[in-house]
Amino acid sequence: MPKQKYQKIITALLLCLSILLIVAGCSSDSAQKSNSTAAYTVTDSQGHKLYFKEKPQRIISMSISTDEILIDLVPSSRIAAFSRLVDDPGISNIVERAQSVGSRVDGQSSEAIMALHPDLILIPDFVKPEVIQSLRDMNLQVYVYKTPKSMDDVRQCIRFLGEAVGEKERGEMMVTAMDEHLKKVQDKIGKIPKEKQKRIVFMRSNGAYYSPEASFNDVCRYAQVRNALEELHYDKPGIVNQEAVV
């Protein structure tokens, strides 16, 4: 290869490298500036960091679980939308209270979510990764929370969501109120011998459902009833056939 041509190639490569370094430096400076002006920072269950200059004022909840927590964490004026299941009386505990928020989302349309101009989206980790990524690609603040599998997980979820919306103290108050309520229930029930405990089965629209790791199992223990499906010793979640239930 001629020496002159070789030098041109080296020069071009060095120019490309310089441009990449400049772009990376600008990006880093921009991120550092954003971080330094943040009033608070939170990290979601996927390790994704979110920076807030102020408490979010247009929050979207994409799960019935978060709907019911969020409505007690912040005023309705700070909620841009609930999940569509919040209006189902067979599932939701806040049907009437949720009417104070006009919009609903189902997670199928990123554009519809974008149109609500959210400054925070609360989304469970069981949502498809591509849906979560599409929202992040639109430069939206997306907080993915871990689906609770025990009462301790529920407590942690409330605390984490409280931090995300800028209401850490309110989250702690909710956990305290929950524990006080659970204690009253347990005091009222007393200690029921295992052989006298009622045996129950969790039914969904498509049949009896069991999961070895689910908050429902903890709920049963607190209520001093027995999840009958635990006796089948399934090691994976799923629908249980009618014969097995009988």
The pLDDT-based confidence of 230 (bands split at 50, 70, 90) is: confident
Q: What is the pLDDT of residue 202?
A: 86
Tell me the pTM. 0.78
pLDDT for 22: 45
Q: Name the more confident of 211 and 157.
A: 157
pLDDT, tens digit, 9 for 90 and up, residues 43-80: 999 999 999 999 999 999 999 999 999 999 999 999 99
pLDDT score at 26 = 47
Can you give the pLDDT at residue 31?
Answer: 42
* Tokens, residue 111: 């554009």
> What residues have CB less than 8 Å from 183, skipping those under 6 apart?
none
Please tell me the predicted confidence (pLDDT) of residue 8.
54
- Average predicted confidence (pLDDT) for the chain: 85
Structural element, H or E, at residue 223 = helix 215-223
Q: What is the pairing mode between strands 59-61 and 120-124?
A: parallel
Report the range of poorest mean pLDDT among 20-24, 78-82, 85-89: 20-24
Summarised one tens digit per residue, pLDDT across range 137-148 is 999 999 999 999
Could you tell me how many residues make up the chain? 246
Q: What's the mean pLDDT in 220-245?
A: 84
Residue 16: other Cβ atoms inside 10 A: 10
Could you give the domains of the chain? 49-182 (3.40.50.1980), 194-245 (no CATH)
pLDDT tens, position by position, 146-171 = 999 889 999 999 999 999 999 999 99
